[in-house]
């Protein structure tokens, strides 16, 4: 699965585009993706136009909100990472598809 990490914005979108277009992945892991701007969204849209179906896994609630507001959850299969913390601060995560954040 192709890893998306850090921030994808206008300062580094051209580099991300070059890497993604050379790999042409259909499954992206957004576990480490903190933010994506419109420049980054354009890269993903270009990828979708080339490869067809794209699935983005483990999307944080903050990044999911960006995909939701921009309508990208209608264009791509976006799987939000939903985590619950218990009293011992351990974490359990499950993955849901195209759901509104809690």
Q: Rounded to whole angstroms, how far apart are CA atoms 65 and 21?
A: 25
- Which of these, 11, 15, 1, 3, lies nearest to 37 by C-alpha position? 11
> From the CB of residue 31, how many other CB atoms can be counted at a distance below 10 Å?
14
Q: Domains in the chain and their CATH numbers?
A: 2-97 (3.30.750.24)
Q: What value, to the nearest 5°, has the Cα angle with vertex 73 and ends 30 and 44? A: 55
Query: Tell me, what's the pLDDT at 31?
Result: 96
- Statement: residue 44 has pLDDT above 80: yes
Checking if the pLDDT of 42 tops 50, the result is yes
Cα(89)–Cα(26) distance, integer angstroms = 34
pLDDT of 6 over the 90 cut? yes
More confident residue, 13 or 95: 13
């Amino acid at each position: 699965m192709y890893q998306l990490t850090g921030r994808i914005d206008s300062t580094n979108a051209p580099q991300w585009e070059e890497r993604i277009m050379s790999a042409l992945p259909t499954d992206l892991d957004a576990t480490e993706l903190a933010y994506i701007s419109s420049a980054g969204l354009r890269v993903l849209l270009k990828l979708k136009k080339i490869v067809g179906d794209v699935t983005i896994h483990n999307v944080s609630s903050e990044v999911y909100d960006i995909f939701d507001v921009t309508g990208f959850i209608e264009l791509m299969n976006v799987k939000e990472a939903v985590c619950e913390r218990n009293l011992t601060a351990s974490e359990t995560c499950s993955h849901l598809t195209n759901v509104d954040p809690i």
